[in-house]
Structure 1
Amino acid sequence: MIPYLLLIFSLLVITFSLRQIFISLEMEQKIFSFHLFLSVILLYTIITVGFGIVYSMLATAGLEIFHDPAETKPLLWWEELSRSMYFSGVTLFTVGYGDLLPLGFGRWIALFEAMIGYALPAALVMKVWSANKQNS
């Protein structure tokens, strides 16, 4: 029961974090600010951790989300969480080292996460540009 509650909580946090960047991140006559920088870092951290928890909870529930050819023994929960966070970060930033391969339903989750990671910088640039244009 707890893994599913954490899964739902993580998805809600990801959703509200993405919403935050489009609604309440306001500029004060600046194109770039320390506040904006910290907000972006926090947003990426929340998304990485949130998807990491999603991957970890699904893997803990018995679904094969990704394949690690180097792993031969079952992992402890914190090792699974650590591996899931790494996979999430590599996927979000579309690095794709190839050491972990998404499988089954994990492919769709990874695709969605990569899409967020790919589109988010463009959305942030458009938000800054729009705010700067309105203040001019």
Structure 2
Amino acid sequence: MEFISWLIIIVIVMVVSISLVDFIRGGKISGRMQMHDSRFSAELFYTLLMIYLIVIFGFGLIYFVLSMNHILLVENGELREVSVAGSLVHSFYFSGATLLTIGYGDITPIEIGRLIALVEALIGYVLPTAFVLKLVQTNQEDRDRKKDML
């Protein structure tokens, strides 16, 4: 059972990593975006939202798989055995609170979960910067393209 759990975790990490790298490199999602001269880009907002949901869902599944192997998230300082549905809800909640760097402290990871939470918090901290840089790069490319047309 433990081998299958680690295999699932590896697959989830690969999917989340591919999604992030694809966005940063300007792959399929951002390649379809047409930036307009407005202050708000619905396409960029939608892409940001989807990337956040993918990361929250992916890390939530990692926490859930770990909780099935009795590496639990500690709630309010106590180890609690919860149902499968309760564990899934706690995993997604903790993932969202960690990615968005809220960190209420009501759920605390233990063992390898601490390292995973640090990686997720780092992604949550760096991801908005990547979006801003992508926006600046796209706007600069649009200006250069317009300048070349004149």
Cα deviation for residue 70 of structure 1 reads 7.0
AA in 1 matched with 2:92: M
Q: In the alignment, what sits opposite 1:75?
A: 82
Q: Secondary structure at 1:134's aligned position in 2? A: helix
Cα deviation for residue 116 of structure 1 reads 0.2
Q: Which residue, 55, 63, 88 being the options, matches 1:55? A: 63
Instruction: Tell me: higher relative CO, structure 1 or 2? Use CA pairs within 8 A at least 6 residues apart.
Output: 1
What is the alpha-carbon distance in structure 2 between the residues aligned to residue 72 and residue 104 of structure 1? 13
| Partners of 2:59 and 2:95 within 8 A in 1 | yes
Task: Please list every run of 5 or more consecutive structure 1 residues that lacks an aligned counterpart in the other structure.
Answer: none
Residue correspondence of structure 1 range 13-92 to structure 2 within 5 A: 13-22=15-24, 23-24=26-27, 25-26=30-31, 27-30=33-36, 32-64=40-72, 66-69=73-76, 73-92=80-99
Identity across aligned pairs (percent)?
37
Q: In the alignment, what sits opposite 2:133?
A: 126
Cα deviation for residue 4 of structure 1 reads 3.5
Task: Please list every run of 5 or more consecutive structure 2 residues that lacks an aligned counterpart in the other structure.
Answer: 144-150
Aligned residue pairs total: 135
- CA distance change for structure 1 residues 110 and 48 in 2, over 3 Å: closer, same or farther? same
- CA distance change for structure 1 residues 29 and 42 in 2, over 3 Å: closer, same or farther? closer
The structure with the larger Rg is 2
Return the TM-score normalized by structure 2.
0.81
Q: What is the root-mean-square deviation of aligned Cα atoms in Å?
A: 1.9
